[in-house]
Amino acid sequence: MLLVARRWTIGIVAGGAAVAIAAAGTPALAQTPLAQASAPATRTEPLPLERLFDNTAVSDDARPSEADFDGSGQSLSAQDLSAAGWTPGRTLALDGARLTWPRSAAGQPDNVRADGQPLRLRGRGDALSFLVAGTGAGGDVTGTGTVRYRDGGSTSYTLTAPDWRSGPLSTKAVALPHINAPGGQRTEKVRLYAVTVPVERGREIASVVLPRDPGPAADLHVFAAAVRTPAHGWTGTWSASTSGYPAVGPWTDQTLRLVIHTSARGRGIRIRLANTFAAAPVRIGHASVAVQASGAAADGAPRRLAFGGRPGTRIPAGAEAFTDPLDLPVPADTNLLVSLHLPERITAAPVHSRTNQVSYLSAAGSGDRTGDSGAEAFTGSLASWPFLTGVDTGGGPGSVVALGDSITDGDKSTVDANRRWPDVLARRLQGQSEVPRYGVLNHGISANRIVTDRYPGDGVSTDTGGVSAQHRLDRDVLAQTGARTVVVFEGVNDVRWGASPDQVIAGLRAIAERSRARGLRVVGATIAPCEGFPDCTPEVDARRTAVNAFIRENGGVFDAVLDFDAVIRDPERPQRMLPEYDSGDHLHPGDAGLRALAESIDLRKLMP
């Protein structure tokens, strides 16, 4: 008799919601915890996506009647897509997956309306990634499909496509400024979304059945699909979240020299650049990496980086790019200089805004200085990290991701000293042998929240508090190189700015469920006290205390808990921080407080 395992898995929709989906019936001899899912009847053999295309979404501005995306004659502008760098056949790196924009010319079929079609899609990975949009419903369009594995088993998944006209801008892959309509072009922002759903790690996918028709007058459109494959053989040694898209410079034909601090050591290096939130492509002329000597000066000649064998690249709006691997020893706990030549005029850029680290900028018109060892050309300074979002090194056991707000970001710690609590944790991990020497990836954003967005996710903005932790989870945690464990230390901004305990708790549950569905260990940290900060009222402390009670009780939501509140609070007055840990503003710990947080962590709690 075959034994049958049964459990629940999680389907993820754009916008951050988690949906429970049942999977049942896989024989135990397949050695998988998921069970067999019922699949729609197969009408044909699985086909490549382009052979399933039955709808035309893109028209030339001069011939709008050649496309009808939504059933009322409206369509996307081919010119707008080209201006964003989304040209036919272009491969787009989105949240760790490589998706190919349809090769179809304007006016030709370029997407499929999902209705149970078997799709030829193969490989092993941690997720499926779909490029989608919904039409007709005026809101999200959702359906359930099936992943079929080569071992004969299958699992179900839930796919949600936000509406192309009204979906959230904070989770979009790209936004375009116009709609082409029978009566002419109309100025209205439209969106496309990259959405991921989990699959069983280690099992080889044989094919995917798209969701069934979601119902009358509503369509779930699929433009591209891919298996997201983890970056085997790489460990993240440094990364940062894009927190907004502010005005800069303008920068014209000059070089950024960005200072970053490694956590894990390894042999080999690659750099990740991202054009998050942008509306237009950015051109990188050249790039290099070197160990910092001091200031903008390199310790030796910088090593040139390449992109697919070329010295530079053009990154489409909303997408990212990795450099080719470079054979270079990467030391732990060391400052590196990553230099980027920007040959074209740039007036706004995706940045991480609060770095507590001085970086450098050459003068306008100074050209490519990425090969300079000396600091003479770098006459300006920066307090942000534009475009640069990750540095990976070869080998290693993987990484711990710290998802947080300004306390994780290191606000109020000593500038240029690398005394953020994730930095201290990284040094602890590198200096011991009890647990693997993980890299530590700091994804704190000052002013960030769990429940709501600070930055709206589109357009030039002075607010660099980022989209919510739920809305950035896929990009900043699930797609991070070598991620094994996530430490969630957020919530103080939510309770300070009016979110109820129930809202914060629901957000924490969703983050934990989505992370665990991708195979990550999830560690929750209690919220630190803040009495004395102007808006930290008794009502705020009551909300904070309620959230902390939930985190401590755990109830299976987290794999482990770090009681940061207990570490840093004043035992005589628990609603405030101990004075010796306080930076002086009563909200942010200083260097001593950040060190206390990191040193309180039982490193065994980080092990998957």
Dihedral, CA of residue 456, residue 462, residue 466 and residue 471, to nearest 10: 10
Residue 606: per-residue pLDDT: 98
pLDDT interval class at 21 (50, 70, 90): very low
Residue 13: per-residue pLDDT: 40
User: Are 486 and 538 spatial neighbours (Cβ–Cβ below 8 Å)?
Assistant: no
Phi (first) and psi of residue 219, to 5 degrees = -135, 140
List the beta bridge partners of residue 295.
Answer: none
Q: Is residue 132 predicted with pLDDT exceeding 70?
A: yes
Residue 38: per-residue pLDDT: 37
Q: Is residue 511 predicted with pLDDT exceeding 90?
A: yes
Structure tokens at 19: 């949906």
Average pLDDT over residues 396-422: 98
Residue 137: per-residue pLDDT: 87
User: Are 388 and 282 spatial neighbours (Cβ–Cβ below 8 Å)?
Assistant: no
Dihedral, CA of residue 331, residue 337, residue 341 and residue 347, to nearest 10: 120
Residue 25: per-residue pLDDT: 31
* Other CB atoms within 10 Å distance of the CB of residue 43: 9
Burial of 345 (0-12, 13-18, 19+ CB in 10 A): exposed
Residue 43: per-residue pLDDT: 55
* Digit-coded pLDDT (tens) for 467-498: 999 999 999 999 999 999 999 999 999 999 99
Long-range contacts of 62-71 (CB under 8 A, 24+ apart): 63/106, 63/107, 64/180, 64/181, 64/182, 64/184, 64/185, 65/182, 66/106, 66/107, 67/106, 67/107, 67/180, 69/135, 69/164, 69/221, 70/135, 70/136, 70/164, 70/219, 71/135, 71/136, 71/217, 71/219
Average pLDDT of the chain is 93
* Digit-coded pLDDT (tens) for 295-311: 999 999 999 999 999 99
Dist. CA 140–CA 561, nearest whole Å: 34
Q: Is residue 52 predicted with pLDDT exceeding 80?
A: yes
Give the rounded distance of the alpha carbon of 294 from its chain centre. 31
Residue 225: per-residue pLDDT: 98
* Digit-coded pLDDT (tens) for 185-236: 999 999 999 999 999 999 999 999 999 988 888 999 999 999 999 888 999 9
Average pLDDT over residues 548-567: 95
Which stretch of 6-10, 489-493, 587-591 has the lowest confidence by average pLDDT? 6-10
Q: Is residue 39 predicted with pLDDT exceeding 70?
A: no
The single-letter code of the amino acid at 534 is P
Of 67, 84, 63, 87, whose CA–CA distance to 75 is shortest?
Answer: 67
